[in-house]
Amino acid sequence: MDTALNPNHIRFLLDGALWTLVLSLMAFVGGGLGGFAVAMGRIAPSRIIRIVVTGYVQLVQGTPLLVIMFVTYFGLPTLGFSISPMFAAGLSMTIYVSAYLGEIWRGAIESVPRAQWEAAECLAMSRAQRMFKVILPQAIRIATPPTVGFSVQIIKNTSLASVVGFVELTRAGQLVNNSIFEPFTIYLIVAGLYFCLCFPVSLLSRRLERTGSARARNLEALSA
């Protein structure tokens, strides 16, 4: 039995890193769509929609992602749905990310000065026109740095998918370790790979934050 770390192991870990990336993208796309719906629901004119969506956000934010994974992967099959680890992980991440991104985006939308809504209203624009032509373009600028920052959390949190048997980077590390038992080396490599995935994103986030805060100052001066 081969007990030393060899290129095959490294390839296996890199494969895992690729799946981490795939799951992160799924989470970002799914969570992004869900998050947009959450943001819209949180500021909806209808009280009932606001209450329901706020409840959803509270529920998800008050639940560990790990438990959400358990509920989808182990719970849904008991209701007769058969689901793959990947689907369970993607669904759980989508649920989790949509609650957080939704709140980040709601904050960004609400930080566009009230007067901008009024100005658009006075031009006889409909609610949808005001939202899409006036408010969202400004909110997107405000929301970009924290959104990119949160993407780092998404990448790191995909490691929890290892518990439902989805072979992403962490699970790949566990599997390699099970065969050669060199935990220190292997998990250092795993940590290094996570860092390589996250660092460029957090770098981007910091850069956006710098340029963004300059923009925000301009915006403030404008509406003062």
For residues 149 and 202, is the Cβ–Cβ distance under 8 A? yes
Is 110 an interacting residue with respect to another protein (CB under 8 A)? no
Is 123 an interacting residue with respect to another protein (CB under 8 A)? yes
d(CA 152, CA 208): 14
d(CA 142, CA 165): 37
Applying CB under 8 A, which part among 7-15, 64-72, 91-99, 109-117 lies near another protein? 109-117
Q: How far is the CB of 134 from another protein (least distance, A)?
A: 6
Is 50 an interacting residue with respect to another protein (CB under 8 A)? no
Give residues 133-192 in contact with another protein (rule: CB under 8 A). Answer: 133-134, 137-138, 141
Is 79 an interacting residue with respect to another protein (CB under 8 A)? no
Q: How far is the CB of 114 from another protein (least distance, A)?
A: 10
Is 196 an interacting residue with respect to another protein (CB under 8 A)? no
Q: How far is the CB of 121 from another protein (least distance, A)?
A: 7
Is 125 an interacting residue with respect to another protein (CB under 8 A)? yes
For residues 87 and 161, is the Cβ–Cβ distance under 8 A? no
d(CA 87, CA 77): 12
Is 119 an interacting residue with respect to another protein (CB under 8 A)? yes
Among 54, 63, 129, 202, binds another protein (CB under 8 A): 129
Site residues, another protein (CB under 8 A) = 113, 115-116, 118-126, 129, 133-134, 137-138, 141, 218-219, 221-224
